């Protein structure tokens, strides 16, 4: 049985509502633009929350646009830069599922098609409204016979398509939930990477803060091995907002606290600390999921470096830290999680790795004793794994081996690598 993926466009595939953005382009020089922007945004939100009909919202917004074809060209250029980050990094999924991935939207083909087709989504799988233009290219309305222009339009369309298979819906609005309500789809995933609407999330089968999360829970091919929204990042003390923003934007589940509370010890994956914050040895010893610590200052005396090294926790600090340089440490932390880089680490070998493309990266942290690399490579050889590239660096008692391999392998390989004697931590990155 085939899986079909019904994906919304506005605030799902893209970070923004396209008609709202079109209004900002077309009304740029209008004296009442701020008032009109607000009216259009209100129409959008009321419909997405199910408080007015979709047709009422659509008609109201289109009438306020004062837009033409030249504005659409500018909009497309803008939208291509606003593709949601988690969709943008999962092009390969759409390539492999080009026959069953559908864009179903109350938006308009004129701007949707050129934005989604570079992601291997076929034109015949794009279902949306179409504008009506006058002889001068001005938008004067839309095709009212299109089912997607009406209330419950997505439900009507799916009735017409008669897809034979398991259907999953992904979107941020009430019209997306209606597919689940109608019984036409198996599961509805409320997409919250860009906006979270309580009226929608309360009714969803699953809340998915990113497309990575959707792929992960359904065990589908994906660009990253573990959704970053599932990695807890705790930020403690007086940390500049830009540092917080960097880690939030990267998709981590961020908590900002005055002190490091014990309840986070077992689940924390990243820890960013303001200068002067101290972490107890007992807390570090219990932080089994902790991968990296960032310290905005000199870490000496505030964190037990030996415990971190023993547990494979990578430390980044900045002895010359000043608030204007607050981006440096969180970026180092993100680069380690995303790419495996340990550049400027306090306790690990300094390794800057090439960007990962069309491969899986296996990160093996181990005690620096003789014979480890022989054991690692023996696992690859016995399982006939094709190695693309390999890196090894050591520092004191720590060894850090990074191996890029082709994507085809048996999952038992991962178990074998984790079970090698003197292994401290093992992690895999997909790209």
CATH code of residue 271? 3.40.50.720
Asked if residue 394 is part of any domain, the answer here is: yes
- Please indicate, yes or no, whether residues 10 and 134 belong to a single structural domain of this protein: yes
Q: In 3D, which of 343, 47, 92 has the Cα closest to residue 199?
A: 47
Asked if residue 346 is part of any domain, the answer here is: no
Q: Tell me the C-alpha distance between 350 and 344, whole Å.
A: 6
- Please indicate, yes or no, whether residues 160 and 247 belong to a single structural domain of this protein: no
Asked if residue 347 is part of any domain, the answer here is: no
- Please indicate, yes or no, whether residues 179 and 239 belong to a single structural domain of this protein: no
- Please indicate, yes or no, whether residues 163 and 259 belong to a single structural domain of this protein: no
Contact 395, 348 (CB under 8 A): yes
pLDDT digits (tens, 9 = 90+) for 106-157: 999 999 999 999 999 999 999 999 999 999 999 999 999 999 999 899 999 9
- Please indicate, yes or no, whether residues 66 and 46 belong to a single structural domain of this protein: yes
- Please indicate, yes or no, whether residues 61 and 137 belong to a single structural domain of this protein: yes
- % helix, strand, coil for the chain, step of 5: 40, 25, 35
- Quote the DSSP letter at residue 267: T
- Please indicate, yes or no, whether residues 259 and 388 belong to a single structural domain of this protein: no
The CATH code of the domain that includes 382 is 3.30.70.260
Contact 275, 303 (CB under 8 A): no
- Please indicate, yes or no, whether residues 210 and 256 belong to a single structural domain of this protein: no
Q: Does the structure show a pLDDT above 90 at 358?
A: no
pLDDT digits (tens, 9 = 90+) for 165-220: 999 999 998 889 899 999 999 999 999 999 999 989 999 999 999 999 999 999 99
Number of domains in the chain: 3
Asked if residue 351 is part of any domain, the answer here is: no
Q: Tell me the C-alpha distance between 31 and 28, whole Å.
A: 9
- Please indicate, yes or no, whether residues 235 and 292 belong to a single structural domain of this protein: yes
- Please indicate, yes or no, whether residues 254 and 157 belong to a single structural domain of this protein: no
Q: In 3D, which of 389, 416, 415, 414 has the Cα closest to residue 403?
A: 389
Average pLDDT over residues 271-278: 96
- Please indicate, yes or no, whether residues 169 and 212 belong to a single structural domain of this protein: yes
The pLDDT score that the predictor gives to residue 94 is 96
């Amino acid at each position: 049985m085939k899986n079909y993926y019904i994906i919304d466009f506005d605030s799902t595939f893209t970070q923004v509502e396209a008609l709202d953005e079109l209004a900002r382009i077309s009304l740029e020089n209008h004296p009442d633009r701020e008032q009109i922007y607000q009216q259009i945004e209100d129409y959008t939100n009321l419909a997405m929350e199910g408080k007015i009909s979709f047709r009422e919202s659509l008609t109201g917004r289109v009438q306020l646009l004062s837009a033409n074809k030249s504005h659409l060209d500018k909009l497309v250029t803008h939208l291509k830069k606003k593709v949601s980050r988690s969709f943008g990094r999962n092009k390969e999924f759409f390539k492999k599922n080009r026959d069953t991935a559908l864009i179903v939207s109350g938006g308009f083909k004129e701007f949707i098609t050129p934005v989604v087709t570079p992601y291997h989504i076929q034109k015949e799988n794009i279902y949306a409204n179409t504008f009506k233009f006058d002889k001068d290219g001005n938008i004067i309305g839309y095709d009212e016979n299109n089912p997607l222009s009406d209330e419950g339009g997505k439900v009507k369309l799916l009735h017409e398509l008669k897809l034979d298979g398991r259907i999953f819906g992904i979107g941020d609005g009430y019209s997306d939930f209606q597919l689940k309500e109608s019984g036409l789809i198996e599961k509805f995933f409320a997409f919250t990477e860009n906006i979270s609407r309580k009226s929608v999330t309360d009714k969803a089968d699953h809340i998915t803060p990113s497309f990575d999360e959707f792929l992960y829970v359904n065990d589908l091919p994906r660009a990253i091995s573990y959704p970053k929204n599932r990695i807890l990042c705790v930020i403690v003390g007086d940390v500049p907002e830009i540092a917080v923003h960097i880690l939030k934007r990267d998709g981590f589940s961020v908590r900002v606290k005055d002190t490091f509370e014990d309840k986070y010890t077992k689940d924390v994956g990243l820890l960013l600390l303001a200068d002067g914050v101290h972490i107890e040895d007992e807390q570090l010893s219990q932080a089994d999921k902790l991968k990296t610590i960032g310290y905005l200052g000199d870490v000496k005396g505030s964190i037990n470096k030996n415990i971190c090294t023993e547990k494979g926790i990578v430390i980044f600090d900045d002895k010359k830290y000043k608030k204007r340089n607050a981006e440096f440490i969180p970026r180092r932390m993100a680069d380690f999680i995303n790419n495996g880089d340990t550049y400027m680490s306090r306790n690990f070998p300094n390794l800057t790795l090439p960007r990962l493309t069309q491969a899986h990266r296996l990160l093996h942290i181990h005690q620096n004793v003789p014979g480890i690399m022989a054991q690692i490579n023996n696992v690859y050889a016995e399982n006939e794994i094709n190695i693309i590239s390999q890196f090894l660096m050591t520092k004191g008692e720590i060894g850090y081996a990074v191996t890029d391999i082709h994507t085809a392998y048996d999952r038992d390989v991962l178990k074998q690598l984790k079970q090698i004697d003197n292994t401290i931590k093992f992690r895999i990155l997909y790209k």
